[in-house]
Structure 1
Amino acid sequence: MTLLQIDRALYLFIVVAFMMAFPPLTLAAAEGQGEDKILIPPPPAIAATAHILLDANSGRVLAENNADSRLPPASLTKIMAVYVAFNELTKGHLQLDENVNVSPNAWRTPGSRMFIEVNKQVTVSELLHGVIIQSGNDASVALAEHIAGDESTFAEMMNQQAARLGMTNTHFTNSMGLPNPEHYTSARDLGILTRTLIKDYPEYYKWFSLKEFTYNKITQRNRNKLLWSDETVDGVKTGHTAEAGFCLVASAVRDNMRLISVAMGTQSERARTAENRTLLNYGFRFYETHHLYKGHEPLKETRVWKGNEKFLNLGLADDLYVTIPRRKYKDLKAVMNFDQRIFAPVKTGDALGSVNVSLAGEVIADQKLIALSTIEKGNLFRRLYDAAILLVKK
C-alpha cells in the first residue's frame, strides 16, 4: 500500500468514526425538542352530527367535522332572528322601548314560550330577552311580525343577512326554527353568524349571558347549562327538536382570547353541554391569540409620486389577529409588501400592498395594506419635477 492510499484510508476511517459519534439531525430534532417543538394533539372526537371550533377574532378554525353539512338548526335559528332585530335597532328603524301588539298568530305558536298574551302589548326589549333567554317561539313570531309585517317576509330579511355574511349553506323559512325541509344551516355558518353578532353588537350580546328572565310573573332559566358550570362562558344559544337533536352554540373568553364552539345533533342536553365544553377546553389549552396590528393605524410611510403630498401612510382596514400554538409567538414573522412606485391620485382605502404573517414557513394571515388618506394629483410643476427624478432613478 502506498503512502497516498494509507492517507485516504485514514481519512475515511476518521469520517466514518465522526459520523457514528455525531449522527445527522432528524427532522424532529431540527425542529426542536420539548416546548420549542409545535406539538398539537389532534382535535377531540365529538359526539355530534357536526361541530366546529373557531377563534372569534382571527377566525381561525381549530377543529371541525361535517361543518358544511346542511342541518336543521332548531332554535339556533333565533341567533339570526335577533341579529336582524339588532340591525334594525342600529339603523333606527326600531326602539327598545317600542310597544309591540301580540297577534293571535304569535300567541298560538307552538313550542317553547315566553307566555305573551294575545292583544296585549310588550316592548321590543322584553321580546328580545324572551327570545334570547327563554327561547320563546311566541316572542320570535311577535318580533318578526312587528319588524316585517309577517314572518315569511322576516325570513327573507334573515336570508338576505345570511347571504351578505357568506353563509352559503343556510336558508330560513321561519324566525324560530320549527322544522321545514327548506329550513337549514351549517355549523360553519353558525360560527360565522355568531362571530359577526359578537363583533357588531357587543352592547346587545351581553344579554346572551343572562341566566334567567321573568315575564308575566313567570321566571324561566337560560337553557345553556355552561353559564352555570363555566364562568368564562357568556353565551350563546341552545336548540332542540326531534329532527335536529340537541344543539348548542357557545362562546367563552379566557386571557383575552374568545372562542366559539358549535355542536349540532347531539343526543341530550348533557351531551351538548359536555361536547361544547370539550371543544372550548381543547382550544384554550393548546392555542393562543395575539392582536398584532390595529386597523386604520399607520404601519408604513411610503413615497407618492406626482401628488400634492409626498408621503402616504399605509395601514390595515381591520385589526389583525392570529391564533397560533401556545408559546410560539416569538417565531412569528411579518412581512410588508407594497408597491414601490405609487402615483397620485390615491384614494383612502385603495389596496397598495399586503401584510403577510407566517409561522414555520406557513402563511397564517394575509391582509391588504390600504391607503389611510387621499392624495390628489399635484400641480404641473410637481408632476414634471417627479417625472425628472424618476428618469434619473431608472
Structure 2
Amino acid sequence: MDKSSEEKIYPASLTKIMTVLVAIENIPDLKEKISLPKSIFTGLYGANASMAGFLPNEEIEAKDLLYGSMLPSGAEASIGLANFIAGSERGFVKLMNEKAQQLGMEDTHFKNATGLHHPDHYTSVKDISILLQYALTNSTFRDVYTAERYSISPTNLHPAGITFTSLMFKK
C-alpha cells in the first residue's frame, strides 16, 4: 500500500483541501462578509481556472466561500479567502506551508491557494493522506468536504444565491 506514496505529484484542486482547512482555522466568524475585488478575476480567467461563479465586487459570507472553494473548486473563492486572511495569496501560501510542516507533510510545497500548476507546487499521496486525516477531525471542514450540494446565502450580486454541486459526486 505504501508503493510510490512519497513520489512527487502535482495536487491541482486537491490544494483546496489545505486552503479550506487553513481558512477555517483562521476565520473566527464564518458569517463575516468578504468582498471579491475585480483584480483577482483577471489572472484566473487568463489561466482558465475553475470558478465557482462569484462575480467581481461580490460580497459573500466566509462560509459560502469555503463551499465555493471546495465543491465546484472555485479559484476565485480560494483567493478571496486567502486575501481576507493574509492580505495576499502569497501571505496565505506561507500559512499553508507552515501548516504542512506542522502536520509532518515532508514532501509538500505550496505556491498558490488554487492548485494552478507550478513546478514548485507539489505534494505526495502520503502527504495528502496526512492532510485529509487531520482535516476530517475538524467538523466544519468535514461538513464542507462531504457536502453533495450547498446553496449560498443571497449576496449583493446573486440575490437568489447560488447552488453548488460537489465535483466529487459527479458521474
Equivalence map 1:19-38=2 (5 Å): none
Is 1:102–1:118's contact at 8 Å kept on the other side of the alignment? yes
Q: 1:274 matched to which residue of 2?
A: none
Is 1:107–1:116's contact at 8 Å kept on the other side of the alignment? no
Structure 1: give runs of 5+ residues left out of the alignment.
Answer: 1-62, 229-269, 271-394
Is 1:141–1:151's contact at 8 Å kept on the other side of the alignment? yes
Q: 1:220 matched to which residue of 2?
A: 164
In 1, the alpha carbon distance for the partners of 2:41 and 2:60 equals 12
SS in 1 for 2:60: strand
* Aligned-residue CA RMSD (Å): 1.7
In 2, the alpha carbon distance for the partners of 1:70 and 1:131 equals 24
How has the CA–CA distance of structure 1 residues 145 and 203 changed in structure 2, closer, same or farther, with 3 Å as cutoff? closer
Q: 1:145 matched to which residue of 2?
A: 83
Are residues 1:210 and 2:154 paired? no
Are residues 1:160 and 2:98 paired? yes
Quote how far apart the aligned CAs of 1:218 are.
4.2
In 2, the alpha carbon distance for the partners of 1:71 and 1:105 equals 30
Equivalence map 1:67-86=2 (5 Å): 67-86=5-24
Equivalence map 1:166-315=2 (5 Å): 166-199=104-137, 201-215=138-152, 216=158, 217-225=161-169
> Which structure's residues are more often strand, by fraction?
1
How has the CA–CA distance of structure 1 residues 116 and 203 changed in structure 2, closer, same or farther, with 3 Å as cutoff? closer
Are residues 1:98 and 2:32 paired? yes
Is 2:6–2:107's contact at 8 Å kept on the other side of the alignment? yes
How has the CA–CA distance of structure 1 residues 203 and 218 changed in structure 2, closer, same or farther, with 3 Å as cutoff? closer
Which TM-score applies when normalising by structure 2?
0.86
Runs of 4+ in structure 1 over 4 Å off: none
In 2, the alpha carbon distance for the partners of 1:72 and 1:103 equals 28
Which TM-score applies when normalising by structure 1?
0.39
In 2, the alpha carbon distance for the partners of 1:105 and 1:71 equals 30
In 2, the alpha carbon distance for the partners of 1:104 and 1:203 equals 28
Structure 2: give runs of 5+ residues left out of the alignment.
Answer: 153-157
- CA displacement, residues 180-204 of structure 1 (integer Å, 9 cap, x when unaligned): 01000000000000111112x1243
In 1, the alpha carbon distance for the partners of 2:106 and 2:16 equals 18
How has the CA–CA distance of structure 1 residues 213 and 202 changed in structure 2, closer, same or farther, with 3 Å as cutoff? closer
In 2, the alpha carbon distance for the partners of 1:117 and 1:164 equals 35
